[in-house]
Amino acid sequence: LTPQYVAIAVKRELGDRADLGDFSAHSLRSGYVTTARAGGLDWGSIMEQTRHKRLETVEPKELAEILHKSTPG
C-alpha cells in the first residue's frame, strides 16, 4: 500500500467525520506494529508487511512500550 492509497482509503471510510490531518500512513503503520506485536506476531512477519529492513527501525518507541508492558513488576 502506498501512503497515497492509505489516505484515499481513510478519507473514503471516514468522510467528513474526521480531519485527515489526524491520520497518516505512518501512524497507521505504527498502530499495526504495536497491535501485531502485542498479538504475538513475530518481528519477521511484521517487517515483511511494513517493508522495514532492520529491526532497529521498526518503531523503537512501540518496541519499548511493548517490552515495558510485558515486563513483570
Q: How far apart are CA 67 and CA 61, in angstroms?
A: 10
Q: Which pTM value belongs to this model? A: 0.58
Instruction: Please list, in sequence order, all residues whose beta carbon lies within 8 angstroms of the beta carbon of residue 7, skipping any fewer than 6 positions away.
Output: 20, 23, 24, 25
C-alpha cell, 72? 513483570
Q: What is the pLDDT along the chain (73 residues), one digit of tens a residue?
A: 676 777 778 778 877 666 656 666 677 778 888 888 889 999 899 888 888 888 878 766 666 666 666 656 5
Burial of 28 from C-beta contacts in 10 A (0-12 / 13-18 / 19+): middle
Q: How far apart are CA 46 and CA 25, in angstroms?
A: 15
